Amino acid sequence: RPVGIWVQMRILGFAALWVFSALMSWGTLSEMLEQIAWGWPSRVQMKKFWSVAQRADKIRSRASLRDSEHLDARQELHEALLKVWKRGRVLGPYPSGLLAGLRTVFGEPVSWRWLLPLRPGGEGDPLRPTALNMDVCRAWAQIAGLAPRFDELSRAA
């Protein structure tokens, strides 16, 4: 019967869309959890820091090794970049590790209440977090301090 085929096609289409949606959701969730585990509760912040690290690395790689005048600046930049890069990722200023990152995102220790939608929570000021990875923060501050020398290096390259 034509009606039976139409119903089967609709069910098949619904199932295909459901599977596609589940796969997309899983991909987004796993990407977000990985980002949080590396110390980035915000994707926007991660992209901004990533672009700074990329630009600094590009300047470092273009700087001439024979130019002794800028050799120390290049070396300092290289050492600072090594502190923020780990296995092809840029480390964030917030605590690394999934549970520590989730605590930063939710603003409180692990709780079953995280599963409740639209529940206010968290402690303190979200714009002034208390948990930071101070070693990574110092490395980012070192890169920021070298920013005026980036221009010297980029002109010398």
DSSP for the chain, please give it.
-HHHHHHHHHHHHHHHHHHHHHHHHHHHHHHHHHHHHTT-S-HHHHHHHHHHHHHHHHHHHHS-SS-GGGHHHHHHHHHHHHHHEETTEEPPSSPPSHHHHHHHHHTSSS-GGGGSTT-----S-TTS-S---HHHHHHHHHHHHTHHHHHHHHHH-
CB distance 100 to 131 below 8 Å:
yes
Minimum mean pLDDT range among 10-19, 24-33, 91-100, 142-151: 142-151
pTM (two decimals): 0.75
More confident of the two residues 156 and 5: 5
Mean pLDDT score, 72-85: 86
- Higher pLDDT: 121 or 102? It is 102
pLDDT digits 0-9 by tens, 111-156: 898 888 888 777 777 677 778 899 999 999 999 888 777 776 666 5
Q: Which residues contact 103 (CB under 8 A, 6 or more apart)?
A: 95, 109, 110, 131
- At 25-58, the pLDDT tens digits run 999 999 999 999 999 988 999 999 999 999 888 8
